[in-house]
């Protein structure tokens, strides 16, 4: 038995097939940016760049995780727009500062992702206004529409001195760079003092 399909029906089937390949999950971004070296991420906002993010441009987000294993990290999530000929393009802007530093010292940073509808032109850029903060691992393959990865942003004391233009800039304390190491150092110093007191290497004199 043979069936004939009218040209109009073939056109409908073709349109349906194309639309099904443009499901929003074909374009997907899930990036995590972890702060290192005493850096703190805050005040994340999303900037839409005209492609994807759902029909209401509400399926892309930039947030700072407040709990869980990625607490303190920037989470950049986005999907494309179903049944469309667009890719996915948006940006996360946020601020980074050092632990124990004033809020006014924060510098502006951004991550800008662009996944064009046509393969081969993917791009990801990561920048901060101050060279004292450095991204690591910020790159994606030029092909493919589903991207999941983890990067870091860290405070670099050497670049911080360059920013000041002089070696007279305040050096970071161990506490600021790594609070956990600071506590270890204090414990070791206390133990050393007690040991020397017991050995008579040092003496306490009261006036």
* Domain boundaries along the sequence of the chain: 8-172, 174-207
The vertex-207 CA angle with 199 and 197, nearest 5°, equals 10
Q: What is the DSSP secondary structure assignment for residue 84, as one 8-state letter?
A: -
The vertex-90 CA angle with 88 and 96, nearest 5°, equals 145
Higher local confidence (pLDDT), 71 or 4: 71
pLDDT at 55: 83
Average pLDDT over residues 7-32: 56
The CATH fold assigned to 8-172 is: Mutm (Fpg) Protein; Chain: A, domain 2 (2.60.270)
Average pLDDT over residues 191-197: 53
Instruction: Note the Cα 117 to chain centre separation in Å.
Output: 24
Average pLDDT over residues 161-171: 40
Average pLDDT over residues 184-194: 49
Average pLDDT over residues 40-59: 92
Taking only Cα atoms into account, the Rg of the chain, rounded to an integer number of angstroms, comes to 26
pLDDT at 205: 52
DSSP SS3 for 145 = coil
pLDDT at 83: 79
User: Are residues 111 and 75 in contact, defined by beta-carbon separation less than 8 angstroms?
Assistant: no
Average pLDDT over residues 171-183: 43
User: Are residues 52 and 79 in contact, defined by beta-carbon separation less than 8 angstroms?
Assistant: yes
Kindly report the pTM of this predicted structure.
0.66
Is the pLDDT confidence value at 182 over 70?
no
| pLDDT > 70 fraction of the chain, expressed in percent and rounded | 63
């Amino acid at each position: 038995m043979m069936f004939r399909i009218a040209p109009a029906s073939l056109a409908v089937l073709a349109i349906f097939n194309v639309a099904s390949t443009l499901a929003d999950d074909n374009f997907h971004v899930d990036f995590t940016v972890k702060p290192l070296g005493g850096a703190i991420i805050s005040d994340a906002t999303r900037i839409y760049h005209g492609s994807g993010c759902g029909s209401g441009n509400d399926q892309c987000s930039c947030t700072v995780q407040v709990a869980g294993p990625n607490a303190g990290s920037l989470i950049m999530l986005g999907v494309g727009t179903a049944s469309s000929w667009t890719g996915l393009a948006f940006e996360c802007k946020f601020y980074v500062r050092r632990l124990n530093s004033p809020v006014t010292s924060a510098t502006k940073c951004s991550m800008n992702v662009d996944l064009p509808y046509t393969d081969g032109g993917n791009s990801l850029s990561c920048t901060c206004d101050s060279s004292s903060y450095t991204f690591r691992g910020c790159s994606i393959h030029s092909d493919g529409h589903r991207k999941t990865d983890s990067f870091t942003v860290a405070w670099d004391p050497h670049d911080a001195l360059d920013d000041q233009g002089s070696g007279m800039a305040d050096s970071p304390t161990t506490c600021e760079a790594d609070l956990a190491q600071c506590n270890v150092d204090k414990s070791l110093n206390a133990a050393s003092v007690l040991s020397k007191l017991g050995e008579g290497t040092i003496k306490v004199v009261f006036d």
